Amino acid sequence: NAGVTQTPKFQVLKTGQSMTLQCAQDMNHEYMSWYRQDPGMGLRLIHYSVGAGITDQGEVPNGYNVSRSTTEDFPLRLLSAAPSQTSVYFCATRWGASFEQFFGPGTRLTVL
């Protein structure tokens, strides 16, 4: 089992460009989420999904879109990248009512 996978590992964008960060899991977990990690700020929740077709905003959703068409995939879209979105992005999953989350390896994004 691959667990939680993220692509790409690294990405450099110019301001205003768009891109999609991919997240896939093979653990059949209903819950998936996206976090961003910035120095001194820990991990902050961007968006999450409790199942296919259901998404909701976290604490820092502005500038990001998500959709969940399948249980396995939860892509994160940046429609018009800004330097403030330079960060490391983590996808995470959990099963059922558990709080414990399983994290992907991360995507390091730089916006110039």
Partner 1 sequence: AQSVTQPDIHITVSEGASLELRCNYSYGATPYLFWYVQSPGQGLQLLLKYFSGDTLVQGIKGFEAEFKRSQSSFNLRKPSVHWSDAAEYFCAVGALVQGAQKLVFGQGTRLTINP
**Can you tell me which of 24, 66, 85, 104 binds partner 1, judged by CB under 8 A?**
104
Q: Which stretch binds partner 1 (CB under 8 A): 17-25, 64-72, 74-82, 101-109?
A: 101-109
Binding-residue pattern over the window 6 to 35 for partner 1, x denoting contact by CB under 8 A: -------------------------x----
Cross-strand pairs, 47: 34, 57
Told to check if 45 binds partner 1 by CB under 8 A, we report yes
Neighbours of 3 (CB within 10 A): 13
Residues in CB range of 69: below 8 A, 6 or more apart: 52, 53
